[in-house]
């Protein structure tokens, strides 16, 4: 009978704790977009076709009301799962997606990159930091699918390169996986555009490698030849084969139900105003600062700088050489830039950089795993193993007990969403149904699900869409302008009689914000220009509770 290694037991408990933490985090809040995802999925299930007309808002002109749900398949599956198995099942499913990503990456890195089963200890420690840093982006979030597909894409590229260099027969067959991968990705999430970009970035890097080798005797090129590890350079035939499959995989994304209109819609994301308005899209140098994300980015940058400045120390062994490949360096630089420009992209950085940072850490600290055992050390080892087992069992039990099972999320999270105000509008629907409603952006998805009879001003589906010479989200924020005349013009333009608004919430600063940056909560209490306008212009409060208020003009 094969004995179970203690390393495997520790790994199991790490995964178990990761899963429990992911589930607890997921059940601790309701994503603002969850409501519209469910409602759109229900619409697809009933109509047996993808949605093309935006009938949830009254703002857009009829000739500009075409809408592409680039996550249509995810929305459809999300609705089916929620309708048949409930909210808890969905939370478990999304937590398992992240665990699956960790399992795939850990197995790949341990067996293919580092080639040492003991490296799992370094991986788990790094992933503990990464999991905590990524937690604001996890939950019932469809972007988790893009993380999974990104991992699979990078692994396919790796195995193609490995087989091409070892000249194995029919080595290119693995590239056939790119076609269904990109096609399915294009139906599930807009992140497939990143997949297409990476395919052609890889091609560009491989072409540059060929050029460097071709001019290797030139004086200006020799330093680069000595600097980078070009042992993985592909020949022209392999580059052409990869180009063919990259084109086929990219072409497959045009076969979705939306065809080329999918790209036409996604092109509207060229208006990037939402990157400086919506919280999770903000750059890392905008408050609120994500300190653990900054710490990890600093760790990656440190690894890159040390590797690049002391490259001679890494060219002497096979493991070190893997850090110096142009593709590896280009990949990490790309995702560092993306993660700095937008906090939402941090999970992409973590997934793509994990092989690099794990290799870097293992390369410089592997001696810690190779200490010789004597009798005294064995006794200490037994004690440590028993202590760790008790600790992991205790932690797992505590987290499990603290998890709250939620069956009705739209009722449960009444402290964060306008449950009472929505009920009021539904009860008085006949009285107010002809009146246009201006709603809080954060509540749009919730209202679409809970009060679909009511058309809204805005929700989370189209923040980037052009409207009146700027983006939809910018048009929304003109209602909060300091210019009271502008507010009046917008209310008249859209003939708005009802306003459902959030009451201001207290800002909670991190201790680093207070101690290091000397920030104060009072610094973030902005004047609410819209509320001031409504109070001074014959709008009456017809409903109010602890989190919401409804204004109405007779």
Per-residue model confidence as pLDDT tens digits over 225-251: 777 777 888 899 999 999 999 999 999
Task: Check residues 356 and 168 and name the one with the higher pLDDT.
Answer: 356
Q: Does position 279 have pLDDT exceeding 60, yes or no? A: yes
Task: Measure the N-to-C terminal CA separation of the chain; round to a whole number of Å.
Answer: 81
pLDDT at 516: 78
pLDDT at 274: 72
Q: What average pLDDT does the structure give for the chain?
A: 88
Angstrom CA distances, 469 to 271, 397, 465, 474, stand at: 11, 55, 10, 10
Pairing of strands 496-502, 436-439: parallel
- Residues 94 and 140: beta-carbon distance below 8 Å: yes
Task: Check residues 511 and 171 and name the one with the higher pLDDT.
Answer: 171
HSE value, Cβ hemisphere, 13 Å, CA-based, for 57: 28
- Mean pLDDT over 213-231 rounds to 73
- Mean pLDDT over 331-352 rounds to 95
- Mean pLDDT over 394-414 rounds to 90
- Please state, in angstroms and rounded to a whole number, the distance separating the CA atoms of residues 32 and 419: 14
pTM of the predicted structure, to 2 decimals: 0.91
- Mean pLDDT over 472-478 rounds to 92
pLDDT at 369: 54
- Mean pLDDT over 374-387 rounds to 64
- Please state, in angstroms and rounded to a whole number, the distance separating the CA atoms of residues 327 and 287: 33
> What kind and span of H or E run contains 199?
helix 192-214
Q: Is 248 exposed, middle or buried (0-12, 13-18, 19+ CB in 10 A)?
A: middle
Q: Does position 3 have pLDDT exceeding 60, yes or no? A: no
- Mean pLDDT over 10-24 rounds to 92
Q: Does position 115 have pLDDT exceeding 60, yes or no? A: yes
Q: Which residues contact 522 (CB under 8 A, 6 or more apart)?
A: none
pLDDT at 1: 43
Lowest mean pLDDT among 296-310, 315-329, 368-382, 393-407: 368-382
3-state secondary structure of 502: strand
60-103 pLDDT, tens digit per residue, is 887 778 889 999 999 999 999 999 999 999 999 999 999 999 99
Q: Does position 468 have pLDDT exceeding 90, yes or no? A: no
Structure-block tokens of residue 213 = 């080798």
Pick from 389, 426, 445, 425: which is nearest to 498 by CA? 425
Q: Does position 30 have pLDDT exceeding 70, yes or no? A: yes
126-180 pLDDT, tens digit per residue, is 999 999 999 999 999 999 999 999 999 999 999 999 999 887 777 889 999 999 9
pLDDT at 268: 67
Query: What is the percent of the chain where pLDDT is above 70?
Result: 93
Q: Name the pLDDT band for 380 (thresholds 50, 70, 90).
A: low
Query: What is the percent of the chain where pLDDT is above 90?
Result: 58
- Please state, in angstroms and rounded to a whole number, the distance separating the CA atoms of residues 5 and 8: 5
Task: Check residues 208 and 275 and name the one with the higher pLDDT.
Answer: 208
Q: Does position 389 have pLDDT exceeding 90, yes or no? A: no
pLDDT at 275: 74
pLDDT at 247: 97
- Please state, in angstroms and rounded to a whole number, the distance separating the CA atoms of residues 55 and 65: 8
Residue 537, φ and ψ in degrees, nearest 5: -135, 50
Q: Which residues contact 77 (CB under 8 A, 6 or more apart)?
A: 41
- Mean pLDDT over 299-328 rounds to 81
pLDDT at 222: 67
- Residues 190 and 75: beta-carbon distance below 8 Å: no
pLDDT at 384: 67
- Mean pLDDT over 401-414 rounds to 92
Structure-block tokens of residue 9 = 């037991």
Q: Does position 549 have pLDDT exceeding 70, yes or no? A: yes
Residue 466, φ and ψ in degrees, nearest 5: -70, 135
> What kind and span of H or E run contains 512?
helix 511-515
């Amino acid at each position: 009978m094969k004995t179970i290694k203690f390393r495997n037991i520790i790994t199991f408990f790490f995964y178990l704790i990761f899963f429990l933490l992911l589930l607890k985090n997921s059940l601790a809040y309701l994503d603002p977009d969850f409501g519209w995802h469910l409602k759109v999925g229900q619409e697809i299930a009933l109509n047996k076709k993808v949605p093309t007309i935006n009938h949830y808002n009254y703002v857009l002109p009829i000739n500009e009301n075409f809408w592409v749900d680039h996550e249509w398949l995810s929305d459809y599956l999300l609705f089916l799962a929620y309708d048949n198995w409930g909210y808890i099942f969905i939370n478990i499913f999304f937590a398992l997606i992240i665990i699956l990503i960790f399992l795939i990456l850990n197995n790949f890195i341990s067996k293919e990159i580092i080639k040492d089963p003991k490296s799992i200890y370094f991986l788990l420690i790094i992933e503990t930091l990464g999991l905590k840093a990524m937690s604001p982006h996890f939950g019932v979030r469809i972007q988790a699918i893009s993380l999974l597909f990104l991992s699979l894409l990078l692994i396919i590229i790796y195995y193609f390169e490995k087989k091409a260099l070892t000249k194995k027969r029919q080595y290119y067959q693995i590239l056939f996986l790119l076609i269904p991968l990109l096609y399915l990705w294009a139906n599930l999430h807009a992140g497939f555009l990143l997949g297409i970009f990476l395919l052609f970035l890889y091609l560009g890097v491989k072409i540059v490698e060929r050029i460097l080798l071709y001019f290797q005797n030139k004086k200006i090129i020799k330093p680069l030849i000595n600097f980078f590890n070009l042992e993985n350079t592909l020949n022209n035939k392999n580059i052409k084969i990869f180009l063919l499959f990259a084109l086929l995989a990219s072409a497959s994304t045009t076969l979705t139900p939306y065809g080329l209109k999918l790209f036409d819609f996604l092109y509207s994301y060229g208006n990037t105003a939402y990157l400086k308005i919506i919280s999770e899209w903000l750059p890392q140098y905008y408050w609120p600062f994500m300190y653990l994300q900054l710490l990890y980015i600093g760790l990656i940058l440190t690894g890159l700088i040390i590797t690049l400045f002391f490259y001679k120390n890494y060219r002497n062994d096979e493991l070190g050489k893997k850090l110096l490949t142009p593709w590896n360096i280009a990949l990490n630089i790309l995702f560092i830039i993306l993660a700095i420009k937008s906090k939402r992209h941090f999970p992409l950085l973590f997934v793509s950089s994990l092989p690099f940072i794990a290799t870097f850490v293992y390369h410089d600290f592997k001696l810690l795993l190779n200490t010789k055992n004597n009798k005294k050390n064995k006794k200490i080892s037994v004690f440590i193993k028993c202590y760790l087992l008790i600790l992991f069992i205790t932690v797992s039990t505590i987290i499990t007990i603290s998890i709250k099972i939620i069956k009705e999320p739209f009722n449960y999270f009444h402290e964060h969403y306008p449950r009472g105000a929505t009920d009021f509008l539904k009860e008085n629907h006949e009285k107010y149904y002809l009146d246009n409603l201006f709603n809080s952006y954060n509540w749009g998805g919730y209202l679409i699900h809970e009060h679909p009879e009511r058309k809204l001003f805005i929700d989370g589906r189209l923040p980037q869409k052009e409207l009146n010479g700027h983006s939809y989200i910018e048009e929304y924020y003109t209602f909060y302008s300091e210019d009271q005349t502008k507010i009046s013009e917008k209310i008249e333009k859209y003939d708005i009689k009802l306003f459902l608004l959030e009451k201001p919430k207290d800002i909670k600063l991190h201790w680093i914000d207070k101690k290091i940056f000397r920030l104060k909560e009072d610094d973030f209490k902005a004047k609410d220009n819209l509320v001031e306008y409504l109070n001074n212009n014959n709008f009456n409060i017809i409903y109010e509770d602890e989190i919401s208020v409804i204004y109405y003009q007779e």
